[in-house]
Structure 1
Amino acid sequence: MVIPSSAANTFSSADPGFAVQTVDEMLAANADIIARIKLCYGADRESFESDVLALIHRYAAYVHLLPATADNYFSAPGGLLRLGLEAGFFSLQGTDAHIFSGRSTISTRRLLEPRWRHATFIAGLCCEVHRVLSHIIVTDASGEMWSGYVQPLTAWLEARGTARYFLSWRPQAVETRSLGVFALPHVVSPEVLHYLSEDNAIIVQHLMASIGGMPVYRDHNVLDNLVRRSLALVIDRNLTANADRYGSPQFGSHLERYLVDALRRLANSNSAWVCNHDKSRVWFGQDGLFLLWPNAADDIRKLLEADQLPGIPKAAETMLEVLLAAEVFEAQDAAHPTWTIYPPSAKTVLEAVKLTSSAILFAGIDPSPAALEMKLVRRAGETDPSPPPAPPQRPARAGEQLSLIPSGDSSSATKSGGERPQKPTPPEAPAPTALRLSFTLEAPMRLNPVVRDALGAVIHTLNEGAGPAQGRTVSQGFFVPISEFERRGLQPSMALRALADVGMLVPAQPDGPPTLTRDFNGTPTVGIVIDPRFIAGFDLAGFSVQDAEDH
């Protein structure tokens, strides 16, 4: 198929192209990770070549030298191949610490364990293969486009007899993991699927659910947990190894999937996330679906920490930015990412985030919760827009005849009994008051996310019930000991550079070093001072801050 001229202009390639290589050449370039996979698989050479190397060969033939992302993790030529090999290796390695088919007999487990390990490696190898179909466009020099649904890229290149191909990225592509199911037949042969499905009906089911991104709520998918953890580790290691990415983080590319998955798991299994119940995190009204924030963020953090996923943000502010950038959440306006709502059971207005669609949270919940017959959003000074509830009626006593006159008709009620003295009108209930101020980090978007998480966690300790404070206020701003960054695994020099680049530090002297010594918990401590304008909850009148500058 030849691309029309308009489409060719839309997806015009911005790179000089990729030189065609053989599969053996590509595997030779990844000999180190393949050797680790062989050692971890623990089989003789013949078994490894038939069971694992054949899969790797087919996967390499399918993705060739395609990168995984345009300008983020594994963006170099061959990035998607390397990503699949590393994710497959760590997934396979993780099977050594888990028991599959735990409820089965010993003989059944002995029969199925090798198949579970085989399936886990396949799931790790193909965990990002959906990107070939959703994000990438490959053409040859004449403009003919490759279809990843029809054949592997290597077979298409050989049939075309071309020595170079060109790559472009679909604009505003949406991650659609379910497309990986259509790429799987080009990597996994029918014989392998038959082997995995023998004597059981669950291994292939869990394999397909993992590759397609489909939750399995009624059964714990150990295979998918291993793959998710391995993929997060692999991506985090790759981003960390590319130090030039600091200062310009790419949000939403891989964190979104874990955060959205956590939202759905909590809505499906956590009693505090039952929609529209007293003290619930989730409120669904006529004006949309809302999550109480940062309460919901704390639940997400605890769930993902239990999953032991590396690189997942811990600060509520970072989670909010990721999900806003991914259009999972909807901001109130440019200056206010969160909303204030007044649920029926609340005594005051509450801070919340709004989801762009209720289907994001309620996917897999049948039937979906119904919305309340009222609006939830309440701004300062607004009265309750919902109609007042009907007054409770006293139950009738035995033998008592109920009045046919409506209780609200005062003129009729006083005809037989004379005029009653009018009761004084009760004073109007005061408008809901805002929540007590809490301390949160409001850093620029371009701040290194690792530094943002660490600093946000320190500032969070100022809030009531968050533990002993790990910093203190001084006349110029908020003092943070250098040791707090070291304790969180950060190099102080890197943290200082990232904070200085976005103008968040207050130097002790105009041209002096950024660090200074202050008393902290009775001990002279080396630290830095954060400009209080970047911390919500501080009264700036209490600091000797310079005139506000544009940050």
Structure 2
Amino acid sequence: MSFSQSERCAAMATPPTPTTSYSASDPGFAALPLDELLTGEADLIARIKLCYGTDRDSFERDVLTLVRRYAACVHLLPATADNYFSKPGGLLRLGLETAFFSLQGTDAHIFSGRMSISARRQLEPRWRHATFIAGLCCELHRLMSHVIVTDAAGEAWPAFLMPLANWLADHRAERYFLRWRPQAVEARGLGLFALPLVVSPAVMADLSEGNSVIVPHLLASISGIPVYREHNILDELVRRSLALVIDRNLAASTDRYGSPQYGSHLERYLVDALRRLASRNPAWIPNREKSRLWLGQDGLFLVWPGGAEDVCQLLESDQLAGIPKAPETMLELLLAAGVFEAAGAERSTWSILQPGAKTPLEATKFSSPAIVLAGIDPPPETLPQALEFKPPPAPASAGPPTPPSAPTSAPVHPQLSLIPPPTGNDANAAPVEEGAGSSPLASAQSTFALQAPMRLNPLVRDALANAVRTLNDGMGPPIVYAVADGLFVPLDEFVRRGVQPSHAMRALSETSMLVKQVPNGPPTHSHEFNGHQTIGIVLDPCYVSGLDPATFAVSPKENS
């Protein structure tokens, strides 16, 4: 007898019997048979069969057997606690969808392009089979690192020893219960220990027949380790498919279940891109002239935002969905994931001085060089000196600073006197005064970058980050400028970048990044800019690195 989808959900929601030691608030999961488990995925399995393009017997032998073994391992487990594919059966659905799109992507690629036609005819089916397996098992590591499964008596499932369905059958369990490991760290290499539970040795032997590359590429994809000096097309298809599947699920979950946590799956793609660049790109060989990577006694540094631009180009070529493009967003994600470490509480990036250089560079610091350098042969040599640049302390002032004269409605701030002020007679902006009135930062070539909260809308973040970047040398004429209480950004700059001004102001208001002229007043300001009276917003200077918020006038914030 089979159950409908609604009946299955009702069964999963039924509380356990009073004889268990668990509270009725935790219904657990029903120990459904595999046939019942796969009934809800019949449509997707039919699409996989059509895409695989073989007869029924071959499909059941090559694909359906794998699907059943995978379902026996993951059963009704969610993929995440409160993010993508967080519903019962989420990990099963995630694996099947990723496997389907990965398999579909093989139609547009030639894996053994340098071989003869007869050799390709023999290997292409094995490449397609391996790509399907890699997509299906890409998240198997979560069984080992993220969840603890117990029966009603509290006995834990030994995930390394047997599939979950087999363990449930051995214990004659009617329900099982899930706990999420606190602060679990993603360790994709653990997926290799679960792989034999899904892929039999006979399948591995068939994949390796007549070649020595398919299985290594398959294992590299599942473990998250790049194949050095080779292009892993199989892994490229899986990564692209997984990003698409997660992005689609997050978009669908927004309508049905509220707002899920965006961004938590992106660091894996960023780290993977960093590793691939370090292993293949000549410009990323550490300690070479004009290199992106510098390895000194005080750690491994990545020139920023140049390194972010390389990562962005690589991920754009991968055609991954939902990948951030702004260096500021990448930096926040990698800092939150522990890949980078910040220079301090108020500064995320570091200043480094390479051997023979006269001026320091802005860079990020890896929490461990092994994140990108592990496995590189020969390993790079470490410079004998530290790379962090610490400017000498400023000489003591001869006397108290001259108090600034009373500002007009919104004078251009002297901290940015190195930036050409807008042309025209600005009635609201006083001329920049050089000399004693200038901030010490005015003489140093500071690097200006947006440091917005993670919750800021990505489109608004990218538009604002690009506008702030024009303050730096070599980035074109500045399109924003400093006033007494912050950084003035014309609303036209959002329009030019495809963002509605009302949408931008609402997003910036929600993150309390705006400065108002008066409390409870409108968020817009009016200044003469390039000879024209211009409407814009004033950004709080604490959200722009390179500016010293203490030197700006105190003004009402948006949330006041």
Q: Which residue of 2 aligns with 1:156?
A: 167
Task: For 1:509 and 1:33, locate their aligned partners in 2 and report how far apart those are by CA, in whole Å.
Answer: 57
Q: Secondary structure at the match of 2:134?
A: helix
Out of 141, 146, 149, the residue aligned to residue 138 of structure 1 is 149
Aligned pair in 2 of structure 1 residues 461, 110: CA closer, same or farther (>3 Å)? Answer: farther
Determine whether 1:453 maps to 2:462.
Answer: yes
Task: For 2:42 and 2:515, locate their aligned partners in 1 and report how far apart those are by CA, in whole Å.
Answer: 50
Out of 314, 321, 324, the residue aligned to residue 313 of structure 1 is 324
Q: Which residue of 2 aligns with 1:478?
A: 489
Q: What is the letter of the counterpart of residue 180 of structure 2? A: W
Q: In 2, are the aligned partners of 1:88 and 1:124 still within 8 Å (CA)? A: yes
Deviation digits for residues 388-428 of structure 1 (CA, Å, limit 9, x no counterpart)? xxxxxxxxxxxxxxxxxxxxxxxxxxxxxxxxxxxxxxxxx
Which is further off, 157-166 or 182-191? 182-191
Q: What is the letter of the counterpart of residue 490 of structure 2? A: F
Aligned pair in 2 of structure 1 residues 497, 237: CA closer, same or farther (>3 Å)? Answer: farther
Task: For 1:366 and 1:156, locate their aligned partners in 2 and report how far apart those are by CA, in whole Å.
Answer: 43
Q: What is the letter of the counterpart of residue 512 of structure 2? A: G
Task: For 1:130 and 1:481, locate their aligned partners in 2 and report how far apart those are by CA, in whole Å.
Answer: 47
Q: Which residue of 2 aligns with 1:231?
A: 242
Out of 119, 123, 136, the residue aligned to residue 112 of structure 1 is 123
Report how far residue 285 of structure 1 moved: 1.7
Q: Which residue of 2 aligns with 1:80?
A: 91
Question: Unaligned regions of 5+ residues in structure 1, if any?
Answer: 1-11, 384-431
Out of 300, 308, 322, the residue aligned to residue 297 of structure 1 is 308
Q: In 1, are the aligned partners of 2:150 and 2:178 still within 8 Å (CA)? A: yes
Task: For 2:518 and 2:351, locate their aligned partners in 1 and report how far apart those are by CA, in whole Å.
Answer: 41
Q: In 2, are the aligned partners of 1:349 and 1:435 still within 8 Å (CA)? A: no
**TM-score when normalising by structure 2:** 0.77
Determine whether 1:22 maps to 2:38.
Answer: no
Q: Secondary structure at the match of 1:351?
A: strand
Report how far residue 142 of structure 1 moved: 0.7
Q: What is the letter of the counterpart of residue 197 of structure 1? A: S
Q: Which residue of 2 aligns with 1:147?
A: 158
Query: Which of 1 and 2 has greater Rg?
Result: 1
Q: What is the letter of the counterpart of residue 181 of structure 1? A: L
Q: In 1, are the aligned partners of 2:69 and 2:198 still within 8 Å (CA)? A: yes
Deviation digits for residues 11-61 of structure 1 (CA, Å, limit 9, x no counterpart)? x99943212222222222223322322232223333333322221121111
Deviation digits for residues 363-397 of structure 1 (CA, Å, limit 9, x no counterpart)? 121232222222222222169xxxxxxxxxxxxxx
Q: In 1, are the aligned partners of 2:516 and 2:556 still within 8 Å (CA)? A: no
Which is further off, 42-51 or 463-472? 463-472
Task: For 2:144 and 2:33, locate their aligned partners in 1 and report how far apart those are by CA, in whole Å.
Answer: 22
Q: Where do residues 124-203 of structure 1 align in structure 2 (5 Å cutoff)?
A: 124-203=135-214
Deviation digits for residues 500-551 of structure 1 (CA, Å, limit 9, x no counterpart)? 2111245799767768999999999997664455334568899997246889
Determine whether 1:338 maps to 2:354.
Answer: no
Task: For 2:550 and 2:344, locate their aligned partners in 1 and report how far apart those are by CA, in whole Å.
Answer: 27
Q: Secondary structure at the match of 1:156?
A: helix
Task: For 1:114 and 1:381, locate their aligned partners in 2 and report how far apart those are by CA, in whole Å.
Answer: 64
Which is further off, 540-549 or 460-469? 540-549
Q: In 1, are the aligned partners of 2:352 and 2:362 still within 8 Å (CA)? A: yes
Determine whether 1:122 maps to 2:130.
Answer: no
Determine whether 1:441 maps to 2:421.
Answer: no
Q: What is the letter of the counterpart of residue 359 of structure 2? A: T
Task: For 1:313 and 1:512, locate their aligned partners in 2 and report how far apart those are by CA, in whole Å.
Answer: 33
Q: Which residue of 2 aligns with 1:358?
A: 369
Report how far residue 319 of structure 1 moved: 1.4
Q: Where do residues 32-71 of structure 1 align in structure 2 (5 Å cutoff)?
A: 32-71=43-82
Task: For 2:443 and 2:521, locate their aligned partners in 1 and report how far apart those are by CA, in whole Å.
Answer: 41
**TM-score when normalising by structure 1:** 0.79
Determine whether 1:102 maps to 2:121.
Answer: no
Q: Which residue of 2 aligns with 1:428?
A: none
Q: In 1, are the aligned partners of 2:494 and 2:504 still within 8 Å (CA)? A: no
Q: Secondary structure at the match of 1:71?
A: coil
Report how far residue 270 of structure 1 moved: 2.2
Report how far residue 291 of structure 1 moved: 1.6
Which is further off, 268-277 or 493-502? 493-502
Q: Which residue of 2 aligns with 1:240?
A: 251
Task: For 2:507 and 2:495, locate their aligned partners in 1 and report how far apart those are by CA, in whole Å.
Answer: 15
Q: In 1, are the aligned partners of 2:447 and 2:472 still within 8 Å (CA)? A: yes
Q: In 2, are the aligned partners of 1:74 and 1:83 still within 8 Å (CA)? A: yes
Report how far residue 295 of structure 1 moved: 1.8
Q: Secondary structure at the match of 1:230?
A: helix
Q: Secondary structure at the match of 2:107?
A: helix
Q: Secondary structure at the match of 2:343?
A: coil
Aligned pair in 2 of structure 1 residues 547, 498: CA closer, same or farther (>3 Å)? Answer: closer
Q: Secondary structure at the match of 2:85?
A: coil
Q: In 2, are the aligned partners of 1:349 and 1:433 still within 8 Å (CA)? A: no
Report how far residue 438 of structure 1 moved: 3.6
Q: In 2, are the aligned partners of 1:247 and 1:447 still within 8 Å (CA)? A: no
Q: In 2, are the aligned partners of 1:126 and 1:180 still within 8 Å (CA)? A: yes
Q: Secondary structure at the match of 1:370?
A: coil
Deviation digits for residues 176-228 of structure 1 (CA, Å, limit 9, x no counterpart)? 11111111111122332232222222212211121122221132211011111
Deviation digits for residues 422-455 of structure 1 (CA, Å, limit 9, x no counterpart)? xxxxxxxxxx998623432121233244543343
Q: Secondary structure at the match of 2:386?
A: coil
Q: Which residue of 1 aligns with 2:295?
A: 284
